[in-house]
Structure 1
């Protein structure tokens, strides 16, 4: 009996973070993670993810549309780059693991320059350079 094997599509990287990925991050995702497709949040999901009201006691109900989007669009084994509000990140990392995704975050090298202004104020400039992706919990 001939059994047809289901061809698995290439792995995707779903972005749950507020900024646009850098060229270095995109290249690293393709090389180190083997992803061919990078999927950004639709605008309505991005609007939720970018600003959780600080006065709200529980944000989990607000994450329902984010979870729905992720579960409908992703497949087991896909990656989810999750960074943002600490509570939302924690909840979405747990959820991603529950549905079989690999939750990751980006690590950076940070350089800071401090400049004392003539009026006595201090200006600090931060430069972030992508280094690698790391899986949550490892």
Structure 2
């Protein structure tokens, strides 16, 4: 049985994440939010109360309901309150929500009396909510 993964997060799926989802979770298709919903998910207003947030997320919930089937998966990450609501919605509709666990690698470059620090995040595995 082929499984689809609905991508509900603000950045792009990495090649490593894609391979892991295919190999460890049996995902055969990845479906990103349409551009308008992607923009909506990426720019959730911080001043919304719980009820306003529920209303704001309705178009995304409709997209999940339309595109997600029983035992499909979702990769959810973003605003904490919105993520919580979407996780619950997915569970109520038999779409299994996951998040990506990552390892942070810090790199320091010394330049005289300055230190430049960069962080790289490396995918480790998917964890079901």
Unaligned runs of 5+ in 1: 1-8
Q: Which has the larger radius of gyration?
A: 1
Stretches of 4+ moved more than 4 A in 1? Answer: 114-120
What is the TM-score of this pair, normalised by structure 2? 0.90
Match of 1:50 in 2: 42
Deviations along 1:3-37, one digit per CA (max 9) or x if unpaired, are: xxxxxx51100000111100000000100010100
Query: 1:29-68 to 2 correspondence within 5 Å?
Result: 29-58=21-50, 59-68=53-62
Query: 1:1-80 to 2 correspondence within 5 Å?
Result: 10-58=2-50, 59-80=53-74
Unaligned runs of 5+ in 2: none
Match of 1:131 in 2: 124
Question: For 1:119 and 1:43, how far apart are their aligned partners in 2?
Answer: 44
RMSD value over aligned CA atoms? 1.7
Q: 1:117 to 1:53 in 2, by over 3 A?
A: farther
What is the TM-score of this pair, normalised by structure 1? 0.85
Richer in helix (by share): 2
Q: 1:118 to 1:61 in 2, by over 3 A?
A: farther
Q: When the two structures are aligned, how many residues end up with a matched partner?
A: 127
